[in-house]
Chains A and B, each alone.
Chain A
Amino acid sequence: MPDLFIAPLNKQEEPKQSDDLLMSKSSLPLTELPSNLHLFSSFVANPRGIHFQNQDSDEKVLLFIKRDLITNIVWVGISILFIFIPIIIAVASPFMGNFLNFLPGRHIFFYLLLYYLFVGTYVFVNFFTWYFNIALVTNKRIIDVDFSSLVYKNVAATKLSLVQDVSYDQVGIVRSIFDYGDILVQTAGTLDNFHFEAAPSPENAVHIIQDLIGKEARNGLS
């Protein structure tokens, strides 16, 4: 009986892609994206020196995403205003009948110190709330660390194989100018979706995650 189909003898193996060189046609390769991690980093590819709880020994962080730095402008503006309020009061005091004269100098000094300590605490709390709102994409999973109002902490993770789709929206002039937007990672079934708010370079992030999902699917089939 003649053979209907004969498999080729020399099956060529697909070249293995390193995670470091992971790239798509439409997005920048990871090596071209910012890779220096510092205090104000909000989008870093292949960050070095960052680790998280329950990280596997062979698990490598590929993307590090935080809210865009520009989203901090509101509290930074309020803080600057707070810093200048005592100076404004000091300048305006002679025109308002020196209403602080009944207090001894040391009282004013101590209250001023306490006031600036409150302002410093306000700045610090806002900064570290931004600092610890992190999304990580590794070669195995996606991790979302939500932290707000000092008392709310939520750490969620999902395997790349469970991610079904990734999309982003970038609405508004400010978001277009500063190139940031919301990324939505949809997971399978009843699992929670992941929502990375105000992520910088959302297009690149989405392409990188899509590449990873594709790679994971290929690994699952083979």
Chain B
Amino acid sequence: MPKVLIAGEVQDGKLAGVSGELVAAALKLTGNPRDVSIALACDDAAGSAENALACGVGSVYVIEHPALKGAGQGGFDAPVTAFVALLNAEKPDVFLMARTDFGYNVAPRVAFRLGVPVAQDCIDLAWDAASNAAVVTRPVYGGNAMAVYRFKEQRPQIVIVRPKTFEPAASNLSPVGEIKRFGVEIPDSHSRARLVESVKEQRAGVRLEEAQVVVAGGRGLGGPEPFKQLQDLASVLGGALGASRAACDAGWIDHSHQIGLTGKSIGPRVYITVGISGASQHMAGCSGAKTIVAINRDPDANIFKEARYGVVGDWQKILPAFIETVREIKRS
């Protein structure tokens, strides 16, 4: 069975939820949690290291360095240098990262620096004992096709996992492994790209990625005003507001609401779309949604191939009655 190393992510001093999804992915490769380890590369791993240990893994590697501050958002050299050093020392068979801002930026650079391949945006993975290699599945052509890749003899085999694909593994287990500190040298002159300013846009309400209900609008809405109605609906349902890329690019709503392959990945219990045609690039961002509800004028729209419930018609007439009835249900 392979040894699997996970690049953990730290969010607000805790292990990010997506790292628990990677533990679940790792357990698909090896049945033995002791063969799984989590590496944390950041400026302060207090708290998150204990969280990582509570996932039941064999080891937690802590790589602390001032240059790794803000590494959670990726894009810089320091985390690449840190992971390359750890991978060279520990020689795992598989290295897992998530397709977040962090993994998106760091994993390909680690792969190129080590001269090994990387499989991007995987939604399934397995270990083939016969060939002693990972076999992975990933959507390509914006989700229109699936590709199955087999790694060769290279080590490590680097796999980037799509968020919201695996249910997070248990994160409240009694620790069985140990925390190991790993020192790494990152010279001051190392990074030729320097962070000048970092702005975190705080939005009121539920985070789109964590919402259990998401209401989203697309090109079919025709302008910015209808998003107010969608926001109302989202609020009544305790959910978050999303949009297709077309609506964001048109300037009707801020890009922070964008759901899709290049945007946020969501995994709500219910996803209600209005005026969204369901292009595969959009669907790639909501493949984790349990139930999709679609309102669209075009009966041939792709969204009706993906949805569980649908209404074909004019959203301007459907939506007010729908929202009013939802309100009545919530009041009763």
> Is B a genuine binding partner of A?
no
A positions within 8 Å CB-CB of B: none
**Chain B contact residues, CB within 8 Å of chain A:** none
